[in-house]
Amino acid sequence: MPLGVHTSIAGGISNSIDRIEDLGCDAMQIFARNPRSWSSRPIPKSEVDLFRAKRLKAGIWPVAIHTTYLINLCAPDTAVFDRSVALFKAELRTAEDLGADYLVTHLGSPFDMGTDFALKRIGSALKEALDSGLGKKTMILLENTAGSGYGFGSDLKDVGRIMDNAALDGLDIGFCLDTCHAFAAGYPMTGPGEVALLLETVDREAGLKRLKLIHLNDSKGGLNSRLDRHQHIGEGEIGLAGFKALLASPGVRQVPMILETPKKSEKDDPRNIRIVRRILGAR
């Protein structure tokens, strides 16, 4: 099972490959640009080429790009929606240029416009991306969210419906399960029974076959707290028993895992990786 971390692109996007190699990982996730900026400036070709060459040499799979946080694929405001779709398409283009396998995105917020509005809006955003010829080389993955405020996508059923609707338009979209977000949104996973039920739910609502990536994060907030606060593996409310149960589940055995755990010190990533490897070794 490939394991990696979300890492920085400071100093140039290809530097992220060096960081992943230093950590001894075989999978990775990055932001391709500042996650809090609307800028859609393309990455210089020399950097793109260097990234591709280093990635090939390092044998990293998969490479996931996480979209910027400003994108709101179900914004009720037309100007914000249009800007979001344009930036989403730019992100997808960049991901394809870089040879990324996945583009992970949150779904945004319809504010008080409700579920049907959100489903329609997101559907049209995805269709626009498809119609522009994108989304074939890099697969779009929808990430479940913690469900704070009006944030959309905390209910796995809604995520599944978007993928179903997109499939009708000929767009093959996958799912990225964030464990912290799922727990905060009310899906228990603290032991084998809870995890089995969670994976049954994932299969029924979204389809285990579409589960392409797992964001492995413990949760600072409790079950159904709606708090999007990641914690080190085993030190949060999900706890070691939950991760042991998840990593031992046959349904996720082949699914690549990315850690998005806190990075307060340089030792944090190596420690979380070590803990996950220890669990994987013991299963």
Q: Is 230 in the site for Zn ion (CB under 5 A)?
A: no
User: Peptide bond before 62: cis, by omega within 30 degrees of 0?
Assistant: yes
Beta bridge partners of 103: 65, 140
- Give the residue, chosen from 97, 101, 178, 237, that forms a contact with Zn ion under the rule CB under 5 A: 178
Q: Least distance (Å) from Zn ion to the CB of residue 29?
A: 9
Q: Tokens 């344009």 map to which residue?
A: 86
Pattern of binders to Zn ion over 132-151, x per CB under 5 A?
-----------x--------
Residue 268 designated active-site: no
Q: Is 220 in the site for Zn ion (CB under 5 A)?
A: no
Residue 187 designated active-site: no
Residue 36 designated active-site: yes
SS3 state at 103: strand
Find the catalytic residue in 6, 33, 55, 230.
Answer: 230
Nearer Cβ to Zn ion (14/145)? 145
> How many whole angstroms separate alpha carbon 185 and alpha carbon 200?
16
Query: Which residue, 88, 87, 145, 158, is CA-closest to 118?
Result: 158
Of 46-54, 175-183, 185-193, 270-278, which segment contacts Zn ion by CB under 5 A?
175-183
Residue 96 designated active-site: no
**DSSP string of 149-179, one letter each residue:** TT-S--SHHHHHHHHHHHHHTT---EEEEEH
Residue 66 designated active-site: yes
Q: Least distance (Å) from Zn ion to the CB of residue 75?
A: 18
Find the catalytic residue in 6, 55, 121, 181.
Answer: 181
236-255 residues in contact with Zn ion (CB under 5 A) are: none
Query: Quick one: angle between helices 268-282 and 239-247, nearest 10?
Result: 60
Q: Is 215 in the site for Zn ion (CB under 5 A)?
A: yes
Nearer Cβ to Zn ion (5/279)? 5
**DSSP string of 17-81, one letter each residue:** HHHHHHTT-SEEEEESS-TT----PPPPHHHHHHHHHHHHHHT---EEEEPPTT--TT-SSHHHH
Query: Rule CB under 5 A: which residues touch Zn ion?
Result: 143, 178, 215, 260
Residues serving a catalytic function are: 36, 66, 69, 106, 143, 178, 181, 215, 228, 230, 260
